[in-house]
Structures are given as C-alpha cells and as structure tokens.
Chain A
Amino acid sequence: AQRVTQPEKLLSVFKGAPVELKCNYSYSGSPELFWYVQYSRQRLQLLLRHISRESIKGFTADLNKGETSFHLKKPFAQEEDSAMYYCALLFGNEKLTFGTGTRLTIIP
C-alpha cells in the first residue's frame, strides 16, 4: 500500500538558514510526488511537483528513488516561508495520499 511519511511534526529554522523538510514514501508503482503548502488562514495549495523539476519560491525537491525520498529544500529561509507543508503521493486514478505534515517556523 502507498504511504507517505514526514518524520518531523515541527521544524524551526532561523531566517537566512537552510531549510530541509523530509519526506519518505512507499509505493510499488512509479511514484509521482508533490509538496502542498498551507499558509496561515489560507487554503491548502500546490507548491511544486517532482515531474516539473522547477523551483517555486526558492524551494526545490528532488525525487530519490533509491532512498524513496522527496525532501523539500531551500538554501535561505525567509519569514514568509512559515507554514504547514504536506508531502503527497499520486496513485491510482488521480488520487493523492498525504503525509501528516510539518509545521515550519522561521525565527526572525
């Protein structure tokens, strides 16, 4: 069965420091992974997907099939990055399985 694991419920990082939010997955098929973000008082929204290999708001994520990971990284944290981040795995007919989320707090 498909599963997404985000081992850190909470992560605090100083402004300007690097950020890494961890995500591991288990899936027997070919994985397609996403990061969704929810800022305070806003809706859950797509941040980035691995197939597009793009950088959004300075964030990147590389799919590592050997380690079954899809960690989200940013070299220099900004205060506006404080939010709840969810890793998600696409399976079946356009269905998403979400991890439990990591609350990122950027310390000024």
Chain B
Amino acid sequence: DTEVTQTPKHLVMGMTNKKSLKCEQHMGHRAMYWYKQKAKKPPELMFVYSYEKLSINESVPSRFSPECPNSSLLNLHLHALQPEDSALYLCASSGKARDKNSPLHFGNGTRLTVT
C-alpha cells in the first residue's frame, strides 16, 4: 500500500466542470509534487511545493491550479479542461528534513477523463 493517498481514483468531467484532485501524505515530507502521465509515456512534472510554497511551475496552463493548504495536503483544482488533458495525475512527496536525496514516493494516481 502506498503512503501517499490520492482521491478520487477515477474522475470523468466535462469541459465546463470544476473539480479538484486531492493528495495526502503523513510521512513528514517537505516537498510535494504533481505529475501528469499520458499512456505509455513517462511522468511529466507539473508543480513542486517545497515547505508549502510553490517552487516550480513547469509552464502549466492556468486551467490547472495547485494549492498546498498544509505540509500534508496537496490539491489540484481543475477548470475548463480540454480532452487532451485526459491522463493519469500522480502526486508524490519526498524529503524529510536533511534528506534531500530521498526518492519520490508516489500515490496511486487519479485517472482523469475529460469529455
């Protein structure tokens, strides 16, 4: 079982809908990430939060809006998505204090379909 929990597991939404993806970890990690993965492709970095502050935004369209309410939670708010945004969205966390080399721990992902 993964220690990074993502909800929902599956999401189908229309192009005019607003929805949110949620991610939670209780490992004391200080960095949290959103990745997007299309079928048979590697994960692509979207956002990184470090100590609850946005540190990396990989030029992601504004229809994706991240939020980090506290060190354990990470949200991704979705609005006016396009069908090409359909993908597996993976949350990850890493880095207890003084352990910058630790690997990313991934959640099981949310499979998003935009209709």
> A and B: partners?
no
List residues of chain A with CB under 8 Å of any chain B CB. Answer: none
List residues of chain B with CB under 8 Å of any chain A CB. Answer: none
